[in-house]
Structure 1
Amino acid sequence: MPTDPETTSTEAAVAILPALAERISAYRIEDLDDHARQLVRTAFTDTLGVALAGSGFPGIAAIRTAAGIAASENGSLVLGTAERVPALDAGLLNGVAAHALDFDDGNSAMGGHPSAMLVPALLALGEETDASVPDVAVAYAAGYEVMIRLAYGLNPAHYQRGWHPTSTIGVIGVAAAAARLLRLSTEHTAIAMAVAVSHSAGVKANFGTMTKPLHVGQAVRNGILGAKLAATGYTANPGALDHRQGFLTVYTGPDGFDSERIVAGLSGPPLVCSEHNPIKLYACCHSTHGAIEAAREIRRSPGFDAGRVEAVEITVDPNRMPHTDRPVLTEALSGKFSLQYVTSRALLAGTVALADFDGNAHHDPATLKLMGRVRVKPAAPGGPANSFTATVRTEQSDGTVLNATRGPHGSGSNAPVDPSLLRQKFTDCAGRVLPADRVTALSEAVMRFPDSGTTVRELMRLAEVHRPTNAKVTP
């Protein structure tokens, strides 16, 4: 059979990966302005906290058993323990922990969670290489640049097709970050990302199951692997993104991407100096947070009586619906992707808590009763594109009608996260597995990030969890 030249050609019409590699290989700590340092500080503080809280996720033990992961004396910390394993395995397990609660930060352009990918990868690889905190901060900026630029050119088509951008785009960003931390050449950095392209995976059909955080863990591991392979001289096609049969066309279709947007303005400041990652106040899909905020506002309104609510209408951007219009829950985790569930909880309790996604919380009779009265509908055409804003309307048996329209906390604002809010969330999350004195010490260390002379290895010693044999961790 003759060879198809289109499947073997290594041409790259735009040469995106080499262009990105050249840009991020030049990054230095001096390139990070105050906004960038705040973003990085928030990313590491928030992600480390939620990963510690998520370290008791049952899926982690299952993965360790299934993958046969063994301890390594000189490895990297498995969060929630004092045990160390090879960096690839630590990246896998800690990546799952970072996303297990769906409490990690987000980015609207990416349509996903950049820090759940980058932070576990850089902590694992940084501990293995005894990297400094400033080095890790620069590597975060490098990986972030790649992720967000790819999202600029791929979304919304990529997201709408059912891909999970956190992992599909994130694995390439992790490879870039790991390559920068390993100080690979521009050529090898492009190869690292090209290797990662072939590990891009994750579909939204698995949202609300144990497999969603596995998307993140596996992508973290494979991104690190791509960089490590490139360092050995491993080969891959640097045109793997823009080849006729490369990532852009395969994952979005021939008309679903804009390659020029990916490389536009590469000579400008790093995107970490201008982008924004809102942190979550609720441990569920960010697409539901606008409805939660609107429901909380209604609950505070004079005349509201949850016991008299006969109908609830939630109006959201159509892009929010495919993964969050979920009137029936199969397990507690699926509540994280149910507008009906989280809005009902907010109307009944005034907030949405971690415990709402544990055990049999989704069987609560009052919540199920109210969920049966909730209808989700798409917003009319002509509004803001890909909006996370939601409108909630309640009707009561006494004739009271209440409306509220809200976006997620922090949406539409580039103001830095309130340090007291960030510290409180970290304390609440880390305190699920660490004693109070260790929470305080670790909090002080990460809140100085990246303006610290400490190393990742020193930082991770503060995150060790020492507990009696067979002690249980609250998931």
Structure 2
Amino acid sequence: MTAQAGEFIAATPSEAIPAMAHAVARQGIIDCVGVLIAGAQEPGPGIVARLVQDHSGPDAAPLIPSGRRVSALDAALVNGTAAHVLDYDDVGLNAHPSTVLVPALLAQGWSLGSTGRELLDAYVIGYEVWAWLSALEPGALHDRGFHPTAVTGTLAAAAACARLKRLAPREATMALAISTSLASGTVANFGSMTKSFHAGRAAQNGVLSARLAAEGFTATIDALEHRSGWLNAHSPTGRAVLKQDEPELGRIWRLPQTGLHLKRYPVCYGTHRAIDGALDLVARHAIRPEEVASVHVHTGEMQMLMLRNMRPQTGLEAKFSMPFAMAAALIVRRVGLDELKDVFVTRVDVQDLMTKVRCSTTPLRDPTWDVDYAPFDQVTITLNSGQVLEGAKVTRPRGSWQQPMNRDELRTKFMDCAQRQLSEAQASRLFDQLWGLESLGCTRELALLT
């Protein structure tokens, strides 16, 4: 199976990739670049950036958007951390595909001088390997404490970078096999700087795996399917598929089917349906925060496994807190970047309202979605008057593949993020370049830098 994947990575013609897959990849790249630029000014990526060395050789790639040149490996690390630190990046496959794939490809693509079409092809190849690996395991990695963005993302980044470097099938197989020994990241670190470091490290290790393979570095040809290989080692069920007589890669294209879920709120995706429900109730009934006696959220066990912070004191902690999400929605009627600051999180009224939120859970999961969440989330608000306001059962959040952003909505989010460090004119130019990525002659032409 490892060798089958290597053949798919290296030998799939660009013309065989569905046009819809390219269109979704373009969305993911645009969204990720915007969020990355906004996240680059956060403390976590700043710490990582201080620890890497300047580099001026042909292998150099820039930190975005500062333009500081470091090695491509370190650019993937820092930019990947920045792309995930706000938790505003897209969701898919029960993980965050673009926050790993895009920083890896931009770093590798910058040093290689890759075209926009090559970036799009490599993104799709990386995503398809990720989706295929996810389909081989009937359980959820979160249940065993693994962060899929880090664990499966490392392998997907290796596949994407192997494609971008135009490795032969044997070398691509080696890149994927090497990456199986570099994949790590635990759910216990959610709500800390280390969670976003997972994405940066996965991106960096993807670049590294492809480069090692290109130099002749070896790994075992059955690193995925061996009884002590990657699939069994990470399987929460012990029932991972270890053999496929008819390869699925290249025959089944999953990206056009499952798409990407773009975030409207910079917090854990497990809160998004509840936020939609709460905002709808607030708008419909003109609820004032001082009128609220209690808030009940019915959600899933998997979501609450990630939403571990019931009384957050920092913006990072608040990203993984259902009580905070409800408090922000009720008090200021939005959950945006400005609300994810320590000064807002520690406000007396925010802290007080969080104490009024309780959650109930179900172990049921929606089998029709690529995110292992409950079939629906529902918010019920009880007022001091005794009136009970029951919200709708929300099955898909706004911005999901089933309720997607249009071009204008994507541009609005991108501009809001990018203009935190770029001028309006530069941000607008960059959006237009990324929207027309397929015709871009060289990655270095992108207006990514201040």
Q: TM-score range by the shorter chain?
A: over 0.9
Q: In the alignment, does 2:340 pair up with 1:357?
A: yes
Structure 2 distance, partners of 1:300, 1:261, is 51
CA RMSD of aligned residues (A): 2.0
Aligned to 2:284, the other structure's residue is in SS state: coil
Is the CA contact (8 Å cut-off) linking 1:393 and 1:402 kept in structure 2? yes
Q: In the alignment, does 2:218 pair up with 1:230?
A: no
Structure 2 distance, partners of 1:303, 1:284, is 24
Cα distance, 1:182–1:356 mapped onto 2, change above 3 Å: same
The aligned counterpart of 1:387 is 373
The aligned counterpart of 1:445 is 433
User: CA offsets, 1:149-178, max 9 Å, x none?
Assistant: 111123533221111000100000000011
The aligned counterpart of 1:470 is none
Within the candidate set 145, 149, 153, 2:132 is matched to 149
The aligned counterpart of 1:473 is none
The aligned counterpart of 2:56 is 72
Residues 235-246 of structure 1: pairs in structure 2 closer than 5 A: 235-246=218-229
Structure 2 distance, partners of 1:317, 1:333, is 22
Shift of 1:32: 3.1
The aligned counterpart of 1:11 is none
The aligned counterpart of 1:396 is 383
Within the candidate set 118, 122, 126, 2:109 is matched to 126
Aligned to 1:141, the other structure's residue is in SS state: helix
The aligned counterpart of 1:202 is 185
Contiguous gaps of at least 5 residues in structure 2: none
Shift of 1:71: 3.4
Within the candidate set 239, 247, 260, 2:230 is matched to 247
Q: In the alignment, does 2:158 pair up with 1:175?
A: yes
Shift of 1:323: 1.4
Shift of 1:408: 1.6
The aligned counterpart of 1:95 is 80
Shift of 1:456: 0.5
- The amino acid across from 1:387 in the alignment is Y
The aligned counterpart of 2:422 is 434
The aligned counterpart of 1:6 is none
Within the candidate set 410, 413, 418, 1:425 is matched to 413
Normalised TM-score (structure 2): 0.94
Shift of 1:229: 0.3
Shift of 1:428: 0.7
Calculate percent identity across the aligned residue pairs: 32
Residues 35-50 of structure 1: pairs in structure 2 closer than 5 A: 35-50=20-35
User: CA offsets, 1:293-322, max 9 Å, x none?
Assistant: 011011012263321111111111211111
Contiguous gaps of at least 5 residues in structure 1: 1-15, 466-475
Aligned to 2:359, the other structure's residue is in SS state: strand
Structure 1 distance, partners of 2:79, 2:31, is 14
Aligned to 2:437, the other structure's residue is in SS state: coil
Structure 2 distance, partners of 1:175, 1:381, is 33
Shift of 1:440: 1.4
Shift of 1:264: 5.5
Within the candidate set 385, 392, 398, 1:409 is matched to 398
User: CA offsets, 1:255-298, max 9 Å, x none?
Assistant: 24234589763342533333310110111111110111011011
The aligned counterpart of 1:5 is none
Structure 2 distance, partners of 1:58, 1:381, is 37
Cα distance, 1:32–1:264 mapped onto 2, change above 3 Å: closer
The aligned counterpart of 2:141 is 158
Structure 2 distance, partners of 1:349, 1:338, is 17
Normalised TM-score (structure 1): 0.89
Aligned length: 443
User: CA offsets, 1:94-137, max 9 Å, x none?
Assistant: 00011011111110xx2110011111111100010001111111
Structure 2 distance, partners of 1:381, 1:220, is 32
Structure 2 distance, partners of 1:239, 1:333, is 39
